[in-house]
């Protein structure tokens, strides 16, 4: 099935050029020039992935993502200014799956879109008639993960994770007590040859912890081993 990509940016030149590039690669596109008009459309008729600019008038990309995450977990890529490290960190903390700094290569953007869509498809139930065996439900202590349905719960309470967050947590939970380096977590969550710095993985981990602490303030199952990486404890 052809994937639909929503583009939200107040720069019409970017909307036009990126839309044409995506359509050339076989994607369907929808374009919006501001966050306010995009929000209703993204909630009522969700695309497969959204690309949001951070710097927009009226409703910027961060506010758009905040409101979107209240009702939807669709994958999101942020477009940021080159030096907006704070915006990048905020975007990841609020639920973005990735970010790209302007000016950016359309080839890089398309590669990251494809990578995230593949990760999304990997968590969906098998198509009817598929001979593949569905991934088994993973249970570790109070944690339950259902890869086929992209569902996560902690002590019976549902926790909503993005695709990237799900894959990172799944990698940790598959082998409790074993330390996973940032590079190993990058390989699990970003399976293509795409550069992701350490801060990105750290931001994802912080966001996962925060989501679990919303249902259990005492959540401490993800341990940091400074200089080494992270591990999951099911005790």
CA distance 207 to 85: 17
Task: Name the residue with higher pLDDT: 86 or 155.
Answer: 155
What is the reported pLDDT for 88?
66
What's the length of the chain?
235
Q: Give yes or no for residue 53 having a pLDDT over 60.
A: yes
Q: Give yes or no for residue 82 having a pLDDT over 60.
A: no
Give the chain's mean pLDDT: 85
* Prediction pTM value: 0.67
Average pLDDT value for residue range 1-18? 92
**Residue 46: pLDDT band by 50, 70, 90 thresholds?**
very high
Average pLDDT value for residue range 48-56? 93
- Give the range among 13-17, 29-33, 104-108, 117-121 with minimum mean pLDDT: 117-121
What is the reported pLDDT for 128?
46
HEC assignment per residue over the chain: CCCEEEEECCCHHHHHHHHHHHHHCCCEEEEECCHHHHHHHHHHCCCCEEEEECCCCCCCHHHHHHHHHCCCCCCEEEEECCCCHHHHHHHHHHCCCEEEECCCCHHHHHHHHHHHHHHHHHCCCCCCCCCCCCCCCEEECCEEEECCCCEEEECCEECCCCHHHHHHHHHHHHCCCCCECHHHHHHHHCCCCCCCCHHHHHHHHHHHHHHHHHHCCCCCCEEEECCCEEEECCC
What is the reported pLDDT for 127?
45
Average pLDDT value for residue range 44-67? 91
Per-residue pLDDT tens digits for 130-155: 455 556 899 999 999 998 777 899 99
Report percent pLDDT > 90 for the chain.
Answer: 49
Average pLDDT value for residue range 39-45? 93
Name the most confidently modeled range: 25-39, 125-139, 146-160.
Answer: 25-39
Task: Name the residue with higher pLDDT: 122 or 142.
Answer: 142
Task: Name the residue with higher pLDDT: 190 or 44.
Answer: 44
């Amino acid at each position: 099935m052809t994937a639909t990509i929503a583009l939200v940016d107040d720069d019409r030149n970017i909307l036009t050029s990126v839309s044409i590039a995506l359509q050339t690669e076989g994607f369907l596109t929808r374009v919006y020039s501001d966050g306010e008009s995009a929000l209703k459309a993204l909630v009522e008729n969700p695309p497969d992935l959204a690309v949001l600019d951070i710097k927009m008038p009226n409703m910027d990309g961060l506010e758009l993502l905040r409101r979107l995450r209240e009702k939807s977990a669709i994958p999101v890529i942020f477009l940021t200014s080159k030096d907006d490290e704070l915006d990048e960190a905020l975007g990841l903390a609020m639920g973005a799956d990735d970010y790209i700094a302007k000016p950016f290569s359309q080839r890089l953007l398309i590669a990251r879109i494809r990578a995230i869509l593949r990760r999304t498809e990997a968590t969906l139930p098998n198509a009817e008639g598929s001979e593949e065996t569905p991934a088994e439900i993973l249970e570790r202590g109070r944690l339950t993960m259902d890869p086929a349905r992209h569902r996560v719960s902690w002590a019976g309470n549902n926790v909503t994770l993005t695709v990237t967050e799900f894959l990172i947590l799944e990698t940790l939970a598959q082998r409790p007590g074993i330390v996973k380096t940032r590079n190993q977590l990058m390989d699990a969550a970003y399976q293509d040859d795409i550069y992701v710095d350490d801060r990105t993985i750290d931001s994802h981990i912080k966001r996962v912890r925060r989501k679990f602490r919303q249902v259990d303030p005492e959540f401490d199952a993800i341990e940091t081993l400074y200089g080494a990486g992270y591990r999951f404890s099911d005790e």
